Chain A
C-alpha cells in the first residue's frame, strides 16, 4: 500500500552537523494510499474512528481540559479514547491552545514521529487566528500553516463537553474518509517545511523526523 521509495529525491537535513547526518534518515515521507476495495477501507476507517489514542503532550493552556476528559465524569474511554505517553503509539494530536515557537518545534517533531493514520485537533481560538495572543512576539497565529489540521474546536477555553462533541465529530469525519491531513502534509511537504523554517530559526533537527 506504500509507494516505492524514490532514493534520488532525498532531504537535505541541512540543520544537522555532518556527523549527525549519518545518524538520521533523509528519506521523504510517503503518502498513504487507501485500500483498493472501498468496503475494506470503510471497515478500516470504522476501526480507526473507534480507537483514538491521544498523545499526552499538553502544548498550551487548553491541555488542562484533557484531564477531566479521562475522569469518570466525562469518561472519554467510551469513545475508544486513551492517552498514550509517546507519539509512536498515538493517532490523535490535540493542540491545546496557543503554540509558541519553541513549542511548535516540539509539536512538529512529535507530529512527524506519529505513525499514520494520524489526526490533529486544534483546541481553542489561538490556533485559528492567534486569539488573545494575536500580537505576541512568540505565538504563532495560523496553526494550519505548519501542520495540517483535521478539526477545530473553538472557544477560549472550550469545556470538556465541547471536546467530547469534537471527538464525536472527528469520528464521523474519519468514517466518511475525509481526514486526509497526513496525506496533505506529504503532498505539500515543501510548502509546510518552508513555513516551519520561516518561524523556527534554530532548526537543529532532521527535515523529517522518522
Chain B
C-alpha cells in the first residue's frame, strides 16, 4: 500500500497539520510511536481486542463479543464490547485530569484532581454488569435504527474506584437534588466542539448506592482508553450509557438531566407498550432504568457436534439489572420441558451469576439449547422477542445455541 509509505515520510510538522492540532511534546514522542489519530485503523490491535470480536462500526468505534468469548467469570478487556456515541478523545493526560462537581444542587462547586480522589476517599472494587441498552437490537421486527447488536454487548469486569456518594457528601448537595448528569471528553462526530456526543445520568437514588463508582481501574489496571481512561462513572445493572466514560464533570441537577441522548427515542422506551412499528410521541417515552433479567450460554459455542453417549456441560451467566437472578433453567425441546441449572450467588450486588448444567440427549438429531433466567420478583426471560420499541432496546429473549447429536 502506497499510503503507508506516504505516512512514514511525514515530518512532525505535517503530522500536526494532518491532525489539525499541535502535538505537544512532539519532540519527546518515541520514534516508533504513531499518534492515535494516524494509526492504521486496526481496532483489534488499537484496543487490544481478540480477533474474534465483531466490529459493527468504525466511526464511531463499536464492537461486540460473541457468546462463547464471554465464558470468563470476570470479563477481560480483550472480550469487552466497545460502545461509543462520539469520537474517543485523542489526548488524555491522566496526571492533570480533574473532576468538577457542579450543578444547581451543589452547595458549592468543587474540583478534585485524580490523585486527590484516589487518596481522599476509600477505594472499593466491585464486579459490575454493564450491558448496552440496545444489546439484541438486531432481532427486532420491524428493524430498529442504530448499531445492530446481537448478543455480545455485555460485560462483567472488576471496577475499582471511589463511591460517588462519598464524593458528593464531601461537596455537599442540596435537598432538591434529583438527578446527576455527566460531561465527558469525547467529541461529536460532526466535529462541532459545542456539541456533546452523549451526556446522560441517573437519579439520585442510584447515585447513593454503594456500588455506584467513579472508577479509575478495570480488572486491577488503569482503565483502557476505549473504556473511559482515566475516569469512568460506573452504574452497574443500568444501560451502560449511564456509565459515562472520560468523565470530567458531574452536574448535580434539581431536574431530570437534559443532556445529549436523554430525550427523544434515545435510551427511552414507550411508557405504555405499543404494537410493533408504532410511532410514539416524545411525551410518551420513558427513560430506561434497570436492565431486565437475561442470560447467556457461553459454553459450548453454538454449532457443536456431540456423540450420543456424551453428556454436555452447559456454562453461562445470568443477570437481572438491579435485581438478583433466583432461578436458571435450560431446555432442549424448545421450551416444552425445562431442566433447572446450578446457579451461583453473585460476587456482589449487580454482578452476573454463573450457571451450569449437565445435559444428556435422548436420541440423535438437531437440538437447540434454550436458557431462561428468572429474577427475584418472579419475572422470566421471554422465549420470543419482548415488546417492540422504536430504538430496539431491552431485548432479553432467551439465548439459544444449536447442537447436533451424531
Answer yes or no: do A and B interact: no
Interface set of A (CB-CB < 8 Å, partner B): none
